[in-house]
Amino acid sequence: QKEVEQDPGPLSVPEGAIVSLNCTYSNSAFQYFMWYRQYSRKGPELLMYTYSSGNKEDGRFTAQVDKSSKYISLFIRDSQPSDSATYLCAMKDDYKLSFGAGTTVTVRA
Amino acid sequence: DTGVSQDPRHKITKRGQNVTFRCDPISEHNRLYWYRQTLGQGPEFLTYFQNEAQLEKSRLLSDRFSAERPKGSFSTLEIQRTEQGDSAMYLCASSAFEKLFFGSGTQLSVL
């Protein structure tokens, strides 16, 4: 079993829809939780960062962490075609960041 | 541009050849990481430096792989006697605290 599980999709939604992404994890040592966005042939770009259970909002993006269930989510409101990318969840213990497989999202105009 | 810089962006080599990649981290970031990513997968951890000390290496890092970070600044990743299975995107990241910032990667193709 992988430490971080993420449904690879792909996910296709119409413009303006809410995109919902999630990951589960098994390692209780994970303390920090991040979401990265990656465009084709580019490096991952940090989108959201949190270290506690609860919600964190940044513009159209909301990250949720539930440590008791070992479950994290990312919501994208009012999705735009420019949001089309691969979204990677990532979790960090003392030093190492462990990634999910990534979910490919396409927002249709 | 003060982001993480990687060179080259693309490398095509023949099986059995040696290749070396360079990473210039964000200045004053004391932690530097190398990851490898294959198509359809998330990045996989290879190794980690704090300043010039290499503190952790993944089991993925066979004896053919070596990484250095002289003087705690830039880092190099060398792959000796490349194999077709080494074809991947090699990503470098740096951090000062908990957030990791990635470069654009080096895409390696082994023919």
pLDDT tens-digit series, residues A79-99: 999 999 999 999 998 888 999
Q: Which residues of chain B have pLDDT under 50?
A: none
pLDDT band (50, 70, 90) for residue A51: confident
Closest CA to A22 of A73, A76, A75: A73
- Which residues lie below 8 Å from residue B106, measured CB to CB, with a gap of 6+? B6, B7, B8, B9, B10, B11, B21, B89, B90
Question: In chain A, which residues have their Cβ closer than 8 Å to the Cβ of B38?
Answer: none
Q: Do B98 and A101 touch (CB under 8 A)?
A: no
Mean pLDDT of chain A: 94
Q: Do B41 and A46 touch (CB under 8 A)?
A: no
